[in-house]
Amino acid sequence: MKAGTITVPDTKRERCVILGEYIIDNEATVRSTAKVYGISKSTVHQDVTVRLAKVDPHLAGKVKEVLQKNKDERHIRGGLATKLKYQNGSK
């Protein structure tokens, strides 16, 4: 199956491992991962939280750490985006 800019495997098992590795390697968010692979955010989240835990618990733990870090930092990123928006004169 070809979607987005990267080929996504047809099997859920392979896909969840590839998505998990991408998130860890790039410290990516669910949203950015979904965009790169051309699949929905819901699918990425389901793959890396539920399916990956059954396929590779160790990898799932690492992914969980990255996702938690992203969650902990999201309010800061949102504030910076708002700050830039108003500094540039946009409303």
Residue 30 burial (CB count, 10 A):
23
36-53 residue pLDDT tens: 999 999 999 999 999 999
| pLDDT of 24 | 97
Those residues whose C-beta lies under 8 Å from the C-beta of residue 48, and which sit 6 or more positions away, are 16, 19, 20, 23, 30, 60, 63, 67
Domain boundaries, the chain: 2-87
* Whether pLDDT at 63 is above 50: yes
Q: What is the distance, to the nearest Å, from the Cα of residue 78 to the centroid of all Cα atoms in its chain? A: 17
In Å, what is the CA distance from 79 to each residue of 12, 56, 76? 36, 35, 5
Amino acid at 41: K
Considering the chain, what percentage of its residues have pLDDT values greater than 90? 68
- At 9, the pLDDT band (50, 70, 90 cuts) reads low
| pLDDT of 74 | 84
